[in-house]
Amino acid sequence: MRIFCASLATETNTFSPLRTDFSDFKQSFYAAPGAHPETPTLCSGVFPALRRASQDLDFDLIEGTATWAEPGGLLNAGTWVYLRDEILEQVREALPLDAVVLGLHGAMIADGCTDCEGVLLEAVRDIVGPETIIGVTFDPHSHLSQKRVDNADIITVFKEFPHTDFAETGDACVALVLRALNGEIKPVVSAYDVRMIDILPTSQAPMRGFVDRMKALEEDGAVLSVSAIHGFMAGDSPDLGAKIVVVTDNDPKKGNEIAKRLGEELFSFRGQTKPQFLTAADALSLAAKADCGPVVVADVWDNPGGGVAGDSTLMLREAIAQNLQSAAFGTIWDPMAVRLCHAAGEGGTLNLRFGGKTSSTAGDPIDAIVTVLKNQRDAVQSFGTSIVPLGDCSVIRFSGIDVVLNSNRSQAFSPDLFTNLGIDITAKKVLVVKSTNHFYGAFSKIAAEVLYASVDGPYPNDPKTTPYTRLTRPLWPIVSNPFEMALA
């Protein structure tokens, strides 16, 4: 028995001023065939899962490329074609194959291709033929096209947001692929279009209970797998929006019924799922007045995990205006400022301009006399078992505030973003992080309180005003009743 695996992933914010090319994949994560590390990245959990299985079962594992680029703007056409063809050629060379397992994100859009993952799956299917089992994992912040449903036998999606279960999702996909190969099951994929786009954190009600009910359906054997696609509102895709995916053992009628029931329940949550979003002024003021710290304040829209630069200065300017003391900000993306701080050296003082370089809506650069507290090459933070590169970093202090400057864009995942760079978070009253909700899993464990601040910037956070050009289906909240309109 022969199984091939590969991973190609990024999340495309088509409204971002950034652009994505091969250098972004190389900078974030690129592993040639056989070079994937023991620990998974967000979208490559199928690799360690298959390696473990191959030690116990009798099959040949052929590893292809595994690569990931930090979310950004439109993907360069040449980069997309190069990486697509690299993996497709590896599939051809690995023939004959009993199964192909792919770790994808699901929100990749390239110049000239709006459904990269669908095109890749269709091409793989053309190469391997109809009898080969194809399993795929997706991030819930993705676009589920019919082309993906038609060409995959098994689809598993991270259930949690924050995505604390990315490794388990890879395990689940591999387990179902192996069961299908052994003839135990005949997987069939059903999908339901929820026709809405919303923020759906699973760390709080009502999504917490919804995820628990999905898990219960799997545990009691009602389905092989059930997942919720949340959608990615910053991607101009014709397949934008929430979907329910159900995998059954050759029972499409049952799968369709369950998907519809869950989809209707999810639609009933519209407008009720996101946490309370405060203004920057209110969030920082409340944090400063808290009885104890650290209070974690999330700058939810200047989130590099959503494809923006992560160099907005708006929250930091508000902190300066409030004379906020005992605070740390992580991070502001500014490779040039990092270079200057490294040149100045630890303990050095310099007049530094930083932040606010990539977007007219992200605030002006800040000019300040700063002290360099720490310089570090190739800094990292953790996200579960995954290691996330931050590139060269510097910690600067001015006006009672510590700021982490990084050269590799990344949202905040873990407190070790600060502690790895020598910042004592227990001594800070306020920690400001750039992340929508992925920070929550690790930061909630050390936070006296968690606050969410909504600061408008380059991330399109209101679908009612976002200038989508490819969306042809009615979706809430763009329309109040998309199902009624769809029948009209």
Residue 157 main-chain phi, psi, to 5 deg:
-130, 140
Question: Token pair for residue 103?
Answer: 């770790």
> What angle do helix axes 46-56 and 166-181 make, rounded to 10 degrees?
40
Type of residue numbered 184: E
Q: Where are the domains of the chain?
A: 2-268, 277-453
CA 320 to centroid of chain Cα atoms:
30
The answer to whether 170 and 179 have CB atoms below 8 angstroms apart is no
> What is the reported pLDDT for 484?
87
> What is the reported pLDDT for 487?
54
Given CATH 3.40.50.2300, say whether it is the number of domain 2-268: yes
Residues 6+ apart with CB under 8 A from 399: 320, 323, 368
> What is the reported pLDDT for 385?
87
Question: Token pair for residue 52?
Answer: 């473990």
The answer to whether 457 and 463 have CB atoms below 8 angstroms apart is no
pLDDT in tens, 195-226: 999 999 999 999 999 999 999 999 999 999 99
Partners of 376 in beta bridges: 393
Question: Token pair for residue 458?
Answer: 């380059």
Q: Which residues of the chain register pLDDT less than 50?
A: none
The three-state DSSP-derived secondary structure of the chain is CEEEEEEEECEECCCCCCCECHHHHHHHEEECCCCCCCCCCCCCCHHHHHHHHHHHCCCEEEEEEEEECCCECCECHHHHHHHHHHHHHHHHHHCCCCEEEEEECCECCECCECCHHHHHHHHHHHHHCCCCEEEEEECCCCCCCHHHHHHCCEEEECCCCCCCCHHHHHHHHHHHHHHHHCCCCCEEEEEEECCECCCCCCCCCCHHHHHHHHHHHHHCCCCCEEEEECCCCCCCCCCCCCEEEEEEECCHHHHHHHHHHHHHHHHHCCCCCCCCEECHHHHHHHHHHCCCCCEEEEECCCCHHHCCCCCCCHHHHHHHHCCCCCEEEEEEECHHHHHHHHHHCCCCEEEEEECCCCCCCCCCCEEEEEEEEEEEEEEEEEECCEEEEEEEEEEEEECCEEEEEECCCCCCCCCHHHHCCCCCHHHCCEEEECCCCCCHHHHCCCCCEEEEECCCCCCCCCCCCCCCCCCCCCCECCCCCHHHHHHC
| Order of strands, sheet of 386-398, starting from the edge strand that comes earlier in the sequence | 277-278, 449-453, 295-299, 430-433, 327-333, 401-406, 386-398, 366-383, 349-354
State how far the Cα of 345 lies from the Cα of 354, in Å rounded to an integer: 17
Question: Token pair for residue 475?
Answer: 């979706």
Closest alpha carbon to 63 in 49, 81, 73: 49
| Order of strands, sheet of 60-68, starting from the edge strand that comes earlier in the sequence | 29-31, 60-68, 2-9, 99-104, 133-138, 154-157
